[in-house]
Amino acid sequence: MSGFLSSSIARKVAMALSALFLIFFLIIHLAVNLTSLFSEEAFNQASHFMGTNPLIQFALQPILIFGVVFHFVMGFVLELKNRASRNVNYVKYNGAASASWMSRNMAISGGVILAFIVIHFLDFWIPELNTKYVVGDMSGYIEGTTNYRYYEELQHKFASPVKVGIYVVAFVLLALHLMHGFQSAFQSIGFNNKYTSCVKSLGKWYSILIPLGFIIIALFHHFNH
Amino acid sequence: MNLTLKIWRQKGPQDKGQMVEYKVTDISEHMSFLEMMDVLNEQLVAKDEVPIAFDHDCREGICGMCSLHINGEPHGPDRGITTCQLHMRTFKDGDTIYIEPWRAKAFPVIKDLIVDRMAFERIQQAGGYISVNTSGNTQDANAIPISKHNADLSMDAAACIGCGACVASCKNSSAMLFVSAKVSQFALLPQGKVEAADRVRNMVKQMDEEGFGNCTNTGACEVECPKGISLENIARMNREYLKASII
Ligand code: HEM
Ligand code: SF4
Ligand code: FES
């Protein structure tokens, strides 16, 4: 973490690269989950593949976890350093006059996403690990049957209106995080040129459509179980 | 017009300081903000009170000396101007105006509204120059071909007057807009390319050591900069820095 990563710009770039990786991951994650809207069979197949493929489980998944942890640890480190760089605050500070709410509150939207990720892990990931590696059942079947368990479990998870509410709120904050973050990541890695207006509109579409997709999935299974 | 002013008063670097309320009357809407401050100071002197210390020099928007955080924004609510170019017609009769110094750990208050901006000088000294001998044997400027496009971009970057409004407006007190303007003005020209890698590394190192915060691309600096320095310069500095560090 010292050396190269002790400079402000290097940290920014590392932050941006981890964020771009997460942006890519969300596309894959949404694509898999979207199958659950159309076909129980397809969702079960996709989930079983993602959950048992060794390359995904033992190479990509650790990278993903490292990416998430790196991103929020670095995010909070930067936030604390940045706060410390103004030791006396303004009596009157009109931040809204020159910058968007999203850009000024990345730590708040990020904090909500982090809380969500913890809940999400307790919901899906920890039980998965338990079934597969503690109990040792790699079959992916509902106990005593030869039917896949994934779709069944998914519907069960979204039964509670409170949980669906938490999901919706978290994804709205993810949208706000990305509305600033998407284009910010490109600026951080030094990408600001004639394509920047495309990056900005792509970022807007991405930050609305991806969270909206997750919200639709949560609501769909809440009302359809 | 008559105004209520809430102004930061601080006797010296060690003093705690506080906001003090003043009333000024009969201010002409054609006055500049600094002239309004002059009127207030004359009133204070007439009453045997200590006048308010504030920075100023050219009073025509080119030196970068005047500062003041006015109603929550550096150089006040108008865009593309310094405080000496801010006219009182921007305000309404009866307004309350908050006047504070730039706030950043790297810009400590010296007195009242004056802050120490030597951090910018030290960043400049770390690399904001080209090492050419200009005594007697200077080349003709046109001997080195430069594309019009780059010459324009370099000129735009060189418009930075080092006022520090970018730092003052930034929620992170980041100096990246200033430093990137100084890095860019040279990086875009052949004369500057020779020392480009050392320049960007040393200037960024000095910037970090001075205790400025880290850019999160909020864009506040670009909006508040009196000289319209663009965020593209920050992206260019990041590219230059990566090139200098990795390659
Ligand atoms: C784990 C919870 C998260 C936390 C606590 C968090 C926190 C932060 C913070 C504080 C920043 C601002 C730092 C900066 O701009 O330099 C940031 C930037 C960013 N975040 Fe997150 N974030 C989280 C999750 C995510 C996720 C899931 C994504 C995307 C899928 C994401 C995408 C981004 C992007 C694109 C940026 C901008 C990077 C840049 O400006 O270079 N974040 N995050
Ligand atoms: S970049 Fe703009 S705001 Fe910052 S010091 Fe230069 S002129 Fe002032
Ligand atoms: S006094 Fe010189 S720019 Fe305002």
Question: Helix axis angle, A196-223 relative to A161-188, nearest 10°?
Answer: 170
Give pLDDT, residue A137: 83
Average pLDDT value over all residues in chain B: 96
ipTM of the predicted assembly exceeds 0.95 = no
**pLDDT band at A135, cuts 50/70/90?**
confident
Mean pLDDT in residue range B234-245:
96
- Which region among A17-26, A47-56, A89-98, A121-130 has the lowest average model confidence (pLDDT)? A121-130
- Total residues found in chain A within this entry: 225
- Chain B: residue nearest A81 by CA? B213
Name residue B198's amino acid.
D
What class has domain B118-133+144-246?
mainly alpha
| Tokens, residue B87 | 């006219």
pLDDT tens digits, one per residue of B113-164 = 999 999 999 999 999 999 987 777 777 878 889 999 999 999 999 999 999 9
Give pLDDT, residue A70: 96
Do the domains B118-133+144-246 and B3-111 match in fold?
A: no
Give pLDDT, residue A126: 86
Indicate the number of domains in chain A: 1
Name residue A126's amino acid.
I
Q: What are phi and psi of A144, to 5 degrees?
A: 80, 5
Query: Is residue A148 predicted with pLDDT exceeding 90?
Result: no
Which residue, among B194, B26, B174, has the nearest Cα to A81 in the 3D structure? B174
Atom of ligand 1 nearest to the CA of B217: 40
Instruction: Render A165-217 in DSSP notation, one character per residue.
Output: HHHHHHHHHHHHHHHHHHHHHHHHTT--STTHHHHHHHHHHHHHHHHHHHHHH
The gap from C-alpha A49 to its chain's centroid, in whole angstroms, comes to 21
Tokens 């400049």, residue?
A: B124
Interface contact flag, A190 B235, Cβ < 8 Å: yes
The reply to whether the predicted model has a pTM over 0.80 is yes
pLDDT tens digits, one per residue of A186-196 = 999 999 999 99
Q: Is B104 in the pocket of ligand 2 (CB under 6 A)?
A: no
Q: DSSP alpha helices (H): ranges in B47-117?
A: none
Atom of ligand 3 nearest to the CA of B226: 3
Query: Is residue B240 predicted with pLDDT exceeding 90?
Result: yes
More confident residue, B143 or B98: B98
**pLDDT band at A183, cuts 50/70/90?**
very high
pLDDT tens digits, one per residue of B159-191 = 999 999 999 999 999 999 999 999 999 999 999
Query: Is residue B247 predicted with pLDDT exceeding 80?
Result: no
Q: Tell me the β-bridge partners of B19.
A: B8
Distance of CA A106 from the midpoint of ligand 1 (Å):
7
The CATH-assigned architecture of domain B3-111 is Roll (3.10)
| Tokens, residue B221 | 């600096």
Partners of residue B71 in chain A, C-beta under 8 Å? 92, 94
Give pLDDT, residue B57: 97
CATH code assigned at A214: 1.20.1300.10
What is d(CA B30, CA B43) in angstroms, rounded to the nearest whole number? 19
Distance of CA B106 from the midpoint of ligand 2 (Å):
15
Atom of ligand 2 nearest to the CA of B221: 3
Structural domain that includes position A112 = 4-223
Give pLDDT, residue A3: 59
- Chain B: residue nearest A184 by CA? B217
Mean pLDDT in residue range B22-41:
96
Mean pLDDT in residue range B26-43:
97
Q: Is B165 in the pocket of ligand 3 (CB under 6 A)?
A: no
Domain boundaries of chain B, sorted by first residue: 3-111, 118-133+144-246
**pLDDT band at A146, cuts 50/70/90?**
confident
Give pLDDT, residue B11: 97
pLDDT tens digits, one per residue of A41-54 = 999 999 999 989 99
- Chain A: residue nearest B70 by CA? A92
- For Cα atoms A55, A203, A214, give the angle at the middle one, nearest 5 degrees: 60
Give pLDDT, residue A149: 85
**pLDDT band at A138, cuts 50/70/90?**
confident
Q: Are B223 and A99 in contact (CB under 8 A)?
A: yes
Query: Is residue B229 predicted with pLDDT exceeding 80?
Result: yes
- The answer, for B80 touching chain A at a CB cutoff of 8 Å, is no
Partners of residue A8 in chain B, C-beta under 8 Å? 176, 204, 207-208, 212, 214-215
Give pLDDT, residue B138: 77
Give pLDDT, residue A1: 40
Query: Is residue A151 predicted with pLDDT exceeding 70?
Result: yes
Q: Which residues contact A141 (CB under 8 A, 6 or more apart)?
A: A147, A148, A149
**pLDDT band at A4, cuts 50/70/90?**
low
**pLDDT band at A168, cuts 50/70/90?**
very high
Give pLDDT, residue B244: 94
Q: Tell me the β-bridge partners of A141.
A: A148
Mean pLDDT in residue range A107-113:
97
